[in-house]
Amino acid sequence: METTTTKTSPIALTPKALEEVRKILADKDVPAEYGLRVGVQGGGCSGLSYLLGFDKKKEADEVYEQEGVKIIMDKKHGMYVMGMQIDFQDGLNARGFIFENPNAKSTCGCGTSFSA
């Protein structure tokens, strides 16, 4: 008997974020083997900044799926983003993805970098 293990993603995308990711995937004709890469990198005014883009799976990656959207993340980034929620805002004054990270000890004013 074969068993299947489903990994729980350390991050969650809101319905608005999922809708926007699906729209971008379709509009930009992103290849099927690509997924949404979520992670962190050194930089920004608070020390770490978020990484969000489309990419193929690499050797050090974990792959998760949320409602048909493939999420790719380097295994080492899990400790920085565990429990994070990504939302999408489309208002008069701002448009873009918003990161709500419970691991961030402080964030910068623009919301794109944090310290852990």
Q: What is the CATH number of the domain that holds 16?
A: 2.60.300.12
Which amino acid is it at 62? E
Between 109 and 114, name the one with better pLDDT: 109
Decide: helix, strand or coil at residue 25.
helix
pLDDT digits (tens, 9 = 90+) for 49-75: 889 999 999 999 999 999 999 999 999
| 116 has pLDDT over 60 | no
| Number of domain units in the chain | 1
Which residue type, as a one-letter code, is found at position 65? E
Residue 116 lies in a domain: no
Residue 73 lies in a domain: yes
4 domain-assigned: no
Q: Is 52 helix (H, G, I), strand (E, B) or coil?
A: strand
Q: Is the pLDDT of residue 45 over 90?
A: no
Domain of residue 98 covers: 11-110
Helix (H, G, I), strand (E, B) or coil at 104: coil
In this predicted model, which residue has the larger pLDDT, 4 or 82? Answer: 82
Residue 82 lies in a domain: yes
